[in-house]
Amino acid sequence: MRILVTGAAGFIGFHLASRLLARGDAVVGVDNLNAYYDVRLKESRLAMLRERPGFSFVKADLVDRAAMADVFSGGRFDAIVNLAAQAGVRYSLEDPHAYVDANVTGFLNVLEGARRHGTSHLVFASTSSVYGTNTQLPFEEGQRTDTPISLYAATKKANEVMAHSYAHLFGIPTTGLRFFTVYGPWGRPDMALFKFTRGMLAGEPIPVFNEGRMVRDFTYVDDIVEGVVRTIDRPSAYRLFNIGNNQRVELMAYIRAIEKALGVQAKLELLPMQPGDVAATEADTSALEAHTGFKPATPVEEGVRRFVEWYRAYYKT
């Protein structure tokens, strides 16, 4: 297939593009290479993709209507996977306009491209954050998602309802995927695993919010990619799926897994809950399993070990 992957130089986009190329698909990657985090990491991912047959890259911002029109004018895509977004819950308190620009206006330009040029399937990334104030675990797709507690989550909920309207009006087969706390090699430096690893190796205290009383459904990136690929191959009129590990892991257990992988004991800086954070997440993945036959299952200890191996090799620590 010929597949458009937006956010191709990002964490998940890089892994997905690599997987699609490995199975013989042609991938057109789009990314604006912004400076939200170290651009050198994005460029390293991109350099690896450029070495692969079947990959082509367009540096463009989803918000740029003319640039995105050019991307779509190059020919019909068999599938479109929208992973480009302004990520991060806490940063949405500092720069809310970046979230509306990238996640709402940018996504609209993707929807318009799919509408005007056609595609067999539009797949887009949503987030577990849309569950907002829900406290009934595990989260399942039929629960209410109209009480987000961060602007990031609100823009992702907006993506879901925007996509539904386009699927309904223009007959675009569309699937939204709610990712749960993705981690693994080539991860983002603003995420907990990266911060904790860097801080622990430097002998610095690591910030532990809500004094460690947090529970997350940590999902290894290869499991996310497997779920995305299987979803690409099974279009629906409009569906939403959770992709998570279907396990509640305490934050302190996650930190212990990092300690074990590094051989370093963490110094903890216990802090209060941050605005926009939720105390606990867990995915009900039964709908994904029924639709694709796949259930994520990589243990946290194994996923953390693989990340630490990559981190030490990449940063030569």
The one-letter code for the residue type at 6 is T
Backbone angles phi and psi of 27, in degrees to 5: -120, 125
Q: State whether residue 55 is helix, strand or coil.
A: strand
Whether omega for the bond prior to residue 185 falls within 30 degrees of 0, making it cis, is no
Q: Is position 152 annotated as part of the catalytic site?
A: yes
Distance separating alpha carbons of residues 177 and 227, to the nearest angstrom = 9
> Which DSSP letter does residue 79 get?
E
Q: Which is the catalytic residue, given 131, 152, 183, 254?
A: 152
The pair of structure tokens assigned to 4 is: 């458009």
Distance separating alpha carbons of residues 21 and 110, to the nearest angstrom = 22
Neighbours of 271 (CB within 10 A): 12
Neighbours of 161 (CB within 10 A): 11
Angle between helices 11-22 and 221-232 (to 10 degrees): 60
Are the beta carbons of 246 and 138 closer than 8 angstroms? yes
Buried b (16+ CB within 10 A) or exposed e, 76-105: ebebbbbbbbbbbbebbeeebebbbbbbbe
Q: 184: closest CA among 46, 279, 39, 298?
A: 298
Using DSSP bridges, classify how beta strands 215-216 and 249-250 pair: parallel, antiparallel or unpaired: antiparallel
> Which DSSP letter does residue 312 get?
H
Are the beta carbons of 15 and 221 closer than 8 angstroms? yes
Residues taking part in catalysis: 152
